[in-house]
Amino acid sequence: MDNGQRTTDNGQLTTDNGQIMEVIPAIDLLAGRCVRLYKGDYAQSQVFSENPVEVAKMWADQGATRLHLVDLDGAKAGKIVNLPAIAAIRNNLSIPIEVGGGLRDRSSVVELFNLGVDWAILGTVAVEQPQLVQELCQEFPEKIIIGIDARNGLVATRGWLETSSVLATQLAVQMQELGAAAIIYTDINRDGTLQGPNLDALRELAAAISIPVIASGGVSSVTDLLSLSALEPQGVTGVIVGKALYTGNIILKEGLQAIGPGRIQDIPPDFGISSFA
């Protein structure tokens, strides 16, 4: 019987009403600690834990299917700085992890892959060295994700300390052509503010490309997650959650129940009826 259900490539149950989305906890590393910045401002950092491994394990234990790690010192310095913390997280966790911040050459990307990191996120080089992006996408298919961090639609680079004249959507189209596996779109003015995601910008971006879009910045509640899940048919396949998880505004388990695998609204329609028969 066709009850509107189907399975995804990895066997997860979903429905024709909309597919599941990944809820991806973020761990931002500054001087080996787990922090959150406000709008990416290094002067406005809040330490959430001295022990990022413990935090990573906690999100994995609570059901995360992927982790998003940012080397904030690295993004500023232009090279990996928090390698010990990244390696420790990788060695203590079995779920996939994506890492960005300071990856500006091939050897840094290779260093992460050698550690067992699953995806490398490139930001600054997408604007400054598209040729390198193309080479890396060819060498590591499906492993290179582009982080597009936008301030009023324009792409910011180098720890968000510089704003380019490149339009986010334009860069996304170019990166898709070069072979990027996915785009992570961060709205800087929302990041760390708990003000809600920029749905209009995400809709515009997702309409312009066919590779997956992962939303980031401003997510503050389960309601925000549900709003984002309406964009799943347009290609928004995941959402990165940072501050809201650390403040408790979103309980990971509830976020997963709302839009993740086994989300509660996907219980088969005849499931409840038969129990009353």
Residues annotated as catalytic (active site), given as ranges: 28, 149
Specify the residue, 159 or 238, whose C-beta has the smaller distance to ligand AMZ: 159
Specify the residue, 40 or 260, whose C-beta has the smaller distance to ligand AMZ: 40
Specify the residue, 110 or 226, whose C-beta has the smaller distance to ligand AMZ: 110
Per-residue 3-state assignment (H helix, E strand, C coil) for the chain: CCCCEEECCCCCEEECCECCCEEEEEEEEECCEEEEEECCEEEEEEEEECCHHHHHHHHHHCCCCCEEEEEHHHHHHCCCCCHHHHHHHHHHCCCCEEEECCCCCHHHHHHHHHHCCCEEEECHHHHHCHHHHHHHHHHCCCCEEEEEEEECCEEEECCCCEEEEEEHHHHHHHHHHHCCCEEEEEECCCCCCCCCCCHHHHHHHHHHCCCCEEEECCCCCHHHHHHHHCCHHHCEEEEEECHHHHHCCCCHHHHHHHHCCCCHHHCCCHHHHHHCC
Specify the residue, 12 or 45, whose C-beta has the smaller distance to ligand AMZ: 45
For residue 184, the minimal CB distance to ligand AMZ (Å) is: 6
Using left for φ > 0, alpha for ψ between -120 and 50, and beta otherwise, residue 205 falls in alpha
Specify the residue, 148 or 258, whose C-beta has the smaller distance to ligand AMZ: 148
For residue 95, the minimal CB distance to ligand AMZ (Å) is: 18
For residue 171, the minimal CB distance to ligand AMZ (Å) is: 12
For residue 163, the minimal CB distance to ligand AMZ (Å) is: 12
Footprint of ligand AMZ (CB under 6 A):
37, 40, 70, 72, 75, 100-103, 121-124, 147, 149, 157, 159-160, 186
Instruction: Tell me the backbone φ, ψ of residue 122, rounded to 5 degrees.
Output: -115, 130
For residue 204, the minimal CB distance to ligand AMZ (Å) is: 19
